[in-house]
Amino acid sequence: MNHSCFLANIQTVLEAVGDDVTSDLRESAVGVIVKLKELEYTWFASCVHHFLVNQMAIESSHEMWSLIEYAAAVLSV
């Protein structure tokens, strides 16, 4: 998968193609992406992505500051 793959769009595709194609798709090589979508554990990955994309430059090596909803949040080790 690349940076322009959105798992939310997979549900739309599955609804559009129907049950027969969906069951065949699950058994194919691409089925792992469908199974990943069905697990719905990717919420944490999107949170980490949000923290890293909005990371602020600081001098401390044991802290990470991120901009969340126009407010700075700190994660420290």
Domain ranges of the chain: 1-40, 45-77
Q: Cα 51 to chain center, whole Å?
A: 12
Query: Rounded CA gap, 25 and 14, in Å?
Result: 9
Single pTM value for the model = 0.42
* AA identity, residue 13: V
pLDDT average, residue stretch 49-54: 75
Residue 18 pLDDT? 87
pLDDT of residue 27: 87
